[in-house]
Every structure is written in structure tokens, then in C-alpha cells.
């Protein structure tokens, strides 16, 4: 039982790890492009914005299990097979790219336009704005978005078990559900809960420590501000 679970854990981490890397590499530029090409953006291009936005929307609204089946021939072309953890990475990554791109878009939009203006006034070009302002200033939000994406990918990876990808979700379904080994199922559920909690904790910690350094609009100070203001209204 133990080697089985251990292997499943590694498979899940392997699939989720690689698909996260690909999702970030693909989704980050896509999300930034969505902001830049929008009306009033630095690379304003309404047509491109509409096209990218539409592709992202369609890909996002597609149920993952259907996306996986629909992508089978593409997966075979890329990895040579449609079975196994490598094959699962393809639909996982493709499903996560638009998901992450939307989160990136929201995060980057939050960056104060005045900072962009400041860099432009120094003679910076669009690339400088992206590198020196948009990415570093939205980094805490980007890390939080990555955490959300990883957690979502762990969910998706269970579905990938249906194409023989392995991993914890696969164990839960095959042993727990189909063979009525309830104990094993609860064990995988527990492991998943622990893994997700750890990832969420690490992500939150990283985002918060960056926020604390920057000190602007972090969740902590905002809450405190709220408390302070209610306190003052009470005394008044």
C-alpha cells in the first residue's frame, strides 16, 4: 500500500509541477498581453484583444474532462502517447494557461497607471514597463494566482487519472471507489488535503512577505485600517 501511495504522490507532483511551469510560462505573457492590448493600453489593439480574450474564454469554460478528450490527437503528436503522466501534462497545461492568464490579467490591471506613466516619462519603452513595473509590482498577486492555479491543477490531475495518468486521484477512484477500499480512499483524501494546505500556506506566506516589504494594499494592513476606522467612529 505504501509504495503505491508514494508512487501516486510523486506522479501527482510531477504532473502538477510541470503543468504549472508551462501554465506560468504561457499564461504570464498572455495575461500581460490582454492588459496591454486593451483599450487605452500601451499596445492598444482592439482586434487582437478580442481574439485573445475569446480564445481564453472558450478554453476556460471547457470542462477539463472534455478538453482532455478533445486534445487527444494533439497529445499524441506531442508526447507520442495518450496514456501516462507525460501525456496528462499536455491537457493539464493547456487547460491551465487560460486560467492563469485571466488571473494574471486581473493582477496586472491592479498596478497603478501612474507608475507606468512615470517609467514612460523616464524614457522607458513598453518592454521596460513590463519588466520594471507590471511584473515586479504585481508579484504578490502573481504568486497568489500561481497558488490558486496549482490547487486547481491538483483537482484537474485527478480527472487525468481517467486516461491512466496515475497520481492520487487515480488511486482514490480505482482503489477507493471501484474496489471499495474506503480506507485507502480516505487516506488519499487526507494526503491531498495536507498537500493542498501546504501549498496554500507556502503561497500565502510568500505573497504576504512580499506585500509586507512593499507595504501597499496588503490584506493585513487593510484589515487593520478597517478596525481602526470603526474604532474611531465608535469613539466619535
Partner 1 sequence: MITTTGLTKVYRSRGREVTALDGVDLHVREGEVYGVIGQSGAGKSSLIRCINLLERPTAGTVTVAGQDLTALAGRGPRAGRELRQARSRIGMVFQHFNLLSSRTVQDNVELPLEILGKSGKERSRKALELLDLVGLADKAKAYPAQLSGGQKQRVGIARALAGDPKVLLSDEATSALDPETTRSILQLLRDLNRQLGLTVLLITHEMDVVKSICDSAALMENGRIVESGTVSELLATPGSELASALFPVGGEASADDRTVVDVTFQGEAATQPVISQLSRTYNIDISILGAAIDTVGGLQVGRMRIELPGRYEDNVVPIGFLREQGLQIDVLGQEPVLLKEGAQL
Residues that bind partner 1 (CB under 8 A): 42-44, 112, 114-115, 117-126, 128, 132-133, 136-137, 139, 210, 213-216
134 vs 172, beta carbon nearer partner 1: 134
17 vs 124, beta carbon nearer partner 1: 124
Residue 141: closest CA among 210, 213, 220, 224: 210
Q: How far is the CB of 216 from partner 1 (least distance, A)?
A: 5
Using only C-alpha atoms, what is the Rg of the chain? 21
Q: How far is the CB of 159 from partner 1 (least distance, A)?
A: 37
Q: How far is the CB of 187 from partner 1 (least distance, A)?
A: 42
How far is residue 168's CA from residue 194's CA, in Å, rounded to a whole number?
12
49 vs 188, beta carbon nearer partner 1: 49
How far is residue 30's CA from residue 52's CA, in Å, rounded to a whole number?
8
Q: How far is the CB of 213 from partner 1 (least distance, A)?
A: 6
How far is residue 143's CA from residue 135's CA, in Å, rounded to a whole number?
11
118 vs 198, beta carbon nearer partner 1: 118
Contact 93, 18 (CB under 8 A): yes
Return all residues near 181 (Cβ < 8 A) that are at least 6 apart: 175
144 vs 165, beta carbon nearer partner 1: 144
Q: How far is the CB of 53 from partner 1 (least distance, A)?
A: 20
Contact 145, 107 (CB under 8 A): yes
Amino acid at each position: 500500500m505504501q509504495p503505491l501511495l508514494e508512487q501516486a504522490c510523486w506522479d501527482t507532483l510531477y504532473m502538477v509541477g510541470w503543468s504549472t511551469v508551462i501554465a506560468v510560462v504561457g499564461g504570464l505573457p498572455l495575461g500581460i498581453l490582454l492588459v496591454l492590448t486593451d483599450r487605452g493600453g500601451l499596445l492598444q489593439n482592439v482586434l487582437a484583444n478580442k481574439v485573445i480574450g475569446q480564445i481564453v474564454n472558450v478554453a476556460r469554460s471547457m470542462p477539463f474532462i472534455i478538453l482532455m478528450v478533445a486534445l487527444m490527437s494533439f497529445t499524441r503528436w506531442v508526447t507520442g502517447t495518450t496514456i501516462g503522466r507525460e501525456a496528462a501534462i499536455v491537457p493539464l497545461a493547456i487547460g491551465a494557461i487560460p486560467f492563469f492568464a485571466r488571473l494574471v490579467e486581473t493582477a496586472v490591471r491592479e498596478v497603478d497607471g501612474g507608475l507606468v506613466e512615470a517609467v514612460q516619462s523616464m524614457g522607458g519603452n513598453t518592454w521596460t514597463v513590463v519588466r520594471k513595473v507590471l511584473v515586479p509590482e504585481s508579484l504578490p498577486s502573481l504568486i497568489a494566482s500561481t497558488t490558486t492555479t496549482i490547487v486547481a491543477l491538483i483537482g484537474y490531475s485527478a480527472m487525468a487519472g481517467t486516461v491512466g495518468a496515475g497520481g492520487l486521484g487515480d488511486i482514490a477512484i480505482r482503489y477507493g471507489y471501484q474496489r471499495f477500499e474506503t480506507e485507502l480512499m480516505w487516506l488519499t483524501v487526507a494526503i491531498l488535503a495536507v498537500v493542498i494546505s501546504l501549498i496554500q500556506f507556502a503561497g500565502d506566506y510568500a505573497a504576504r512577505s512580499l506585500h509586507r516589504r512593499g507595504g501597499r494594499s496588503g490584506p493585513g494592513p487593510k484589515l487593520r485600517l478597517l478596525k481602526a476606522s470603526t474604532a474611531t467612529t465608535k469613539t466619535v
